[in-house]
A and B are shown apart, each in its own frame.
Chain A
Amino acid sequence: MTTTGGTAPLDFTPAPGAAPFPRMVLAQAGAEVRAMLRNGEQLLLTLIIPVLLLVGFSLAPLIDIGAGRRVDFLVPGVLALAVMSTAFTGQAIATGFERRYGVLKRLGATPLSRSGLMLGKTVAVVAVEVIQAAVIVGVGLALGWRPHGSFLSAALLIVLGTAAFSGLGLLMAGTLRAEATLAGANLVYLVLLGAGGVVFPLSKFPAGAQPFLEALPISALTGGLRTVLADGAALPLGSLAVLAGWAVVALALVSRTFRWE
C-alpha cells in the first residue's frame, strides 16, 4: 500500500481507559455541530428558510396580522420555527440515518454511554439554536424589531420547546426507517410551518380548528414567544404547560421505543 508514514511507529500496547465524561460529551457535541453546519439541506431548513420568511413577510404586506407591526409578529414565530427545524427536523433526519448506517450501534461500543450520546446531541442542538437565534434576532433588529418582555421567559419556552421537539424527532428516528423519517420530518415541518402560527396567525383558521391547532407544540411555542416578546407578558403558563406535556409524553415514548439498530 502506498502510505505516507506507513512505518510510523505506533504503540499498540494496551492502555485502555475512558476519557472523562464531559470531554466525551463535548467531543460528540462538537462533531454534531460541525456536521449540522456543513449540511446544505439542513442549513436550508434551519437558517435560510427562517430568514427568508422573516425578511419577506416583514417587508411585503402578504399577510394580515391585524393590529401591530409585522416584524414584531414575525420574529417570535420565526424563532419558534428555528427551534423546530433543529430540534425536530434536523435531529430526526440525522439520527435516523445514524441508526440506519450503524453509527449509533458503533458509538455504543465506545466508552460514550447512551446518556452521554443523548446529552451530546442536546448540547449540539442548543448550540445551533444559539447561532440561529443570534442571526434571527440580528436580522429582526435590522428590520426594526422592538423586543419586549423577559428574556428568561423566552429562554424557558425555547428550552421546553427544544425538549418537546427533540422527543418527537427522536421518536421518529428511533422507530421508523431512515427514508420514512426523512420524508415524515420534512412533511411535519411544512405542515407545522403553515398551521402553527409561524407566519399565518391562528385566528385566520376556522374557529372549529383553532383549539386543535393551539394544542400543537409549534403553536404553543409561537404563541408563548409572542405573548412574551411582542406583548411583554411575564410567564405564559398555558404555553409552557402544553410544551411540557408534549416533552414528557414524547421523551417517555422515546425511552420505551427507541431502537439503536
Chain B
Amino acid sequence: MSAITGDRHLRAGPAVAVPKLVTMGSPAVEMIDLVKRYGGNTAVNGLTLSAGRGAVTAVLGPNGAGKTSTVEICEGFRRADSGTVRVLGLAPTAAELRARVGVMLQGGGVPPAMRCGEWLRLVSRFYAHPLDSRALLGRLGLTEHARTPCRRLSGGQQQRLSLAAAVIGRPELVFLDEPTAGLDPQARHACWDLVAELRGAGVSVVLTTHHMDEAERLADQVVIIDRGRVVAEGTPASLTGAERQLRFRARPGLALEELLNALPSGSAAKESPAGHYIIEGLVGPELLATVTAWCAAEGVTADDLRIERRTLEDVFLELTGRELR
C-alpha cells in the first residue's frame, strides 16, 4: 500500500492536519473507574483502560463481560453510572465527536428498505470529506449488491456494509463492536486488511471480539475484561509470554507418569482434551528428544508435533475460566 501512503502526504491539506495536531496529546479513549448498572446487574464494574492514538486496541471478554456496554458508553449511546470517560479528550456525548468517530454497532443499524449503495451514499453525505462510497463498496465486495435492498443482504454482507458506514466519514477513531462476528473467512480477512490499513493511515481503532486470532493478529494492545473489570492488558506478545510448550496429538489415555519421570524436574505434562498432549517446561532439544523417545517406546506416532508459545486463547481461558456462561 505504498502508493496510498505516498498519496497521503501529498493530500495532507489543512483540513486534515489541523484536527490531528490539536488533539494529538490525549489518548483516543481513556476511562477511569467506569461503572454501569442495569437494575441490580452490574455490567461494568470499575473499568479503567486507555486506548492509544493511532493504535488498534482489542477488547476481549466472554459474553456478558461488559464489552458492548463499555463501547456504547464511549459512543455516547449510554451514560455511565459513575467514573470518567474521555473520547479524543472530550465527553462521549460531545456533538463534535459525531463527525470524528466512526461506529459499527453489534448487529442492526442497517435500514431494511433502503438499498445497500443508497444507505452508504446517504451516510457519506453527512460528512465533509467522505470516501467515495462506490470505491468503498468495491473494497468490501459489495459492488454487485449496491442495488439490493438491505433486508435481502446476508448477515455477513450487512456486517460489511456496517463496517463501510463506520469508516466512510474518514474518522480519527472507529469503534467496531464484534466486526467479524458471522463473517466467512474471506470476509474476515478483508475486514482485517481494512483494519490494518486504517491503522497505517493513522486511525485509532477500538474493537471488541471473541476471536483470539483476530486480537493476536491485529491489535497493538489487548485488554481482557471479565465481569466488567479489566483482568489483563498488554501487547499480545507480553500477554502470551515467552514460555513455550510442546504439543502433539496421539491416541488418548497414554500413561504420562513415565514420561514425567524422564523429563527434567519442573516440567508438566497433561492431556487436554483427550488425545491432545501438552508438555510445558524448559522446551529445548533435550525435552524434544525425551518426548519422541518416549513416543517410540510407547509405539505411538506423535501427530501435529509442534513447539509454540502459549496462545492468547490459553491466556484468555486461564483468566476467565472454562465454564460456560
Q: Is B143's CB under 8 angstroms from A3's CB?
A: yes
Q: Is B126's CB under 8 angstroms from A111's CB?
A: yes
Distance to closest chain B CB from A191 (angstroms): 26
Partner of B15, one of A12, A17, A113: A17
Of B58-66, B195-203, B257-265, the one touching chain A: B195-203
B126 — which chain A residues lie within 8 A by C-beta? 18-19, 24, 27, 110-112
**Nearest opposing residue in chain B for A108, CB measure:** B77
Q: State the CA gap A81–B140 with chains docked (Å).
A: 44
Total number of residue pairs linking A and B with CB closer than 8 Å = 165
Of B40-48, B108-116, B221-229, B290-298, the one touching chain A: B108-116
Binary interface encoding of chain B residues 150-170 relative to chain A, with 1 for a CB under 8 A from any of its CBs, else 0? 000000000000100101011
From known contacts A5-B135, A9-B3, infer whether A16 and B127 are also in contact, taking CB-CB under 8 Å: yes
From known contacts A12-B167, A14-B20, A105-B77, infer whether A3 and B15 are also in contact, taking CB-CB under 8 Å: no
Q: Is B135's CB under 8 angstroms from A16's CB?
A: no
**Nearest opposing residue in chain B for A109, CB measure:** B103
Interface residues on B, range: 35 or more
Distance to closest chain B CB from A181 (angstroms): 15
From known contacts A27-B125, A102-B109, A105-B109, infer whether A11 and B131 are also in contact, taking CB-CB under 8 Å: yes
B107 — which chain A residues lie within 8 A by C-beta? 102
A258 — which chain B residues lie within 8 A by C-beta? none
Q: State the CA gap A142–B87 with chains docked (Å).
A: 61
Distance to closest chain A CB from B163 (angstroms): 12
Distance to closest chain A CB from B39 (angstroms): 17
B3 — which chain A residues lie within 8 A by C-beta? 9
Q: Is B172's CB under 8 angstroms from A14's CB?
A: yes
A98 — which chain B residues lie within 8 A by C-beta? 111
Q: Is B127's CB under 8 angstroms from A17's CB?
A: yes
Q: Is B169's CB under 8 angstroms from A110's CB?
A: yes
Binary interface encoding of chain A residues 40-58 relative to chain B, with 1 for a CB under 8 A from any of its CBs, else 0? 0000000000000000000
Whether a CB of chain A sits under 8 angstroms from the CB of B319 is no
Q: State the CA gap A3–B186 with chains docked (Å).
A: 11
Q: Is A18's CB under 8 angstroms from B128's CB?
A: yes
A103-124 contacts to B, CB under 8 A, are 103, 105-106, 108-113
Whether a CB of chain B sits under 8 angstroms from the CB of A68 is no
Q: State the CA gap A126–B197 with chains docked (Å).
A: 43
Distance to closest chain B CB from A148 (angstroms): 40
Whether a CB of chain A sits under 8 angstroms from the CB of B189 is yes
A12 — which chain B residues lie within 8 A by C-beta? 131, 167, 170, 197-198, 200-201, 203
Of B93-101, B267-275, B281-289, B300-308, the one touching chain A: B93-101
Q: Is A13's CB under 8 angstroms from B16's CB?
A: yes
Whether a CB of chain A sits under 8 angstroms from the CB of B123 is yes
Q: Is B129's CB under 8 angstroms from A17's CB?
A: yes
Whether a CB of chain A sits under 8 angstroms from the CB of B12 is yes
Binary interface encoding of chain B residues 2-39 relative to chain A, with 1 for a CB under 8 A from any of its CBs, else 0? 01100110011001100110000000000000000000
Distance to closest chain B CB from A125 (angstroms): 16
A23 — which chain B residues lie within 8 A by C-beta? 125
A16 — which chain B residues lie within 8 A by C-beta? 19, 99-100, 127-129, 169-172
Partner of B131, one of A6, A10, A106: A10
From known contacts A12-B170, A14-B202, A110-B98, infer whether A19 and B125 are also in contact, taking CB-CB under 8 Å: yes
Whether a CB of chain B sits under 8 angstroms from the CB of A261 is yes
Binary interface encoding of chain A residues 78-118 relative to chain B, with 1 for a CB under 8 A from any of its CBs, else 0? 00000000000000001001100111011011111100000
Q: Is B131's CB under 8 angstroms from A103's CB?
A: no
Whether a CB of chain B sits under 8 angstroms from the CB of A35 is yes
Binary interface encoding of chain B residues 114-158 relative to chain A, with 1 for a CB under 8 A from any of its CBs, else 0? 100011001101111101100110111101100000000000000
